[in-house]
Amino acid sequence: MIPAAFEYRRASSLGEALQLLADGGEDAKLLAGGHSLLPLMKLRLAAPSVLVDIGRLSDLSYVREEGDRVAVGALTRHRDLQTSDVLHSHAPLLAHVAGQVGDPQVRHRGTIGGSIAHGDPASDLPAACLALGATFMVEGPRGKRQIEASDFFRGFLETALEPDEMLVEISVPKTTGAGWSFQKFNRRAQDWAIVGVAAVTGANPGIGLINMGATPIRAAAVESALASGASPSEAASHAADGLDPPADLNASPEYRRHLAQVLVRRALEEAGAA
């Protein structure tokens, strides 16, 4: 449970963080809240040679309106999302899901950017971002670029971020007045979800699934069924279409497929899908 030796660098600005990341090469890692990276380091599943601490970059912690969207700084902590008046008014799903992450200690230290950049398929916030149709702003030595949430997650703990890039902002469309729901099933409070569902209904329905594949997944078949006028029950029957859920000590793939259908139906009914 002791990590391999590493160098520690603390960045005082975004520019310095990007420079330290570039100097460290592919073996450098960013450290924000640390709840995703440090456990992997203790188990020697990750062994970065350099840790670049960005936890004190306060200018990347914000929630603000930008026209028809809400912009969220990547270093905004889960607790700040949970209590944000802007999110409660314009993207309540994101505020609610942030309040379900881990326990109070995790929510006061963990950041939305760290959760998304980690790319864990069992994580709650990536699924919420998929359901909301979020866009991620990343920055590196070649400048800034935008990546749609649906294009961001590439494989198990693998994202579209280059080794010298950093996620700096999450932008979500305002969903004022739209129905939404978040459902997840776990054996004990604070456990990772065996299966979870983040849903937004209305003109542009979005369904994000947790722990139903190697990446956070958007349930395209359910969204298509809803767009065609299917009932919540009919749409939910497509929840596992084309998906390959994992098998582990908690559940078999068959159980996860069944659970996804049940939770998607509940989410759509709660969100008021027609």
Q: What DSSP string describes 43-61?
A: TTS---SEEEE-TT-GGG-
Q: What integer pLDDT is reported at residue 188 of this predicted model?
A: 81
Mean pLDDT of 136-161: 96
Topology, domain 58-173: 3.30.465
Q: ∠185-186-192 over CA atoms, to 5°?
A: 110
Q: Which residue has the higher pLDDT, 42 or 90?
A: 90
Confidence of residue 274 (pLDDT cuts 50, 70, 90): low
CA distance 43 to 208: 29
Q: What is the mean pLDDT of the chain?
A: 94
pLDDT bin (cut points 50, 70, 90) of residue 115 is very high
Assigned token pair, 34 = 């640390």
User: Rounded to whole angstroms, how far apart are CA atoms 203 and 205?
Assistant: 6
Over range 91-114, report the average pLDDT. Answer: 94
Crossing angle of helices 220-227 and 253-271, in 10° steps, is 40
Q: Is the pLDDT of residue 260 over 80?
A: yes
**Residue 139 · residue 112 · CB < 8 Å:** no
Question: Would you state the structure tokens that stand for residue 45, as one six-digit string?
Answer: 């599943």
The fraction of the chain above a pLDDT of 90, given in percent, is 80
pLDDT at 252 exceeding the cut of 70: yes
106-136 burial, b if ≥16 CB within 10 A, otherwise e? bbebbbbbbbbbbbbbbbbbbbbbbbbbbbb
For the chain, percent of residues with pLDDT exceeding 70? 99
DSSP codes, 129-178: HHHHT-EEEEEETTEEEEEEHHHHEEETTEES--TT-EEEEEEEE--TT-
**Amino acid identity at 16:** E
Compute the average pLDDT of residues 216-239.
Answer: 96
243 strand-pairing partners: none
**Domain 7-53 CATH assignment equals 3.30.43.10:** yes
pLDDT at position 191: 82
Domain ranges of the chain: 7-53, 58-173, 180-271
pTM of structure: 0.94
Give yes or no for residue 130 having a pLDDT over 90.
yes
Q: How far apart are CA 179 and CA 187, in angstroms?
A: 27
> Given this structure, which CATH class describes domain 180-271?
alpha beta
pLDDT at res. 47 = 84
Q: What is the pLDDT of residue 241?
A: 97
Whole-angstrom distance, CA of residue 208 vs CA of residue 223 = 10
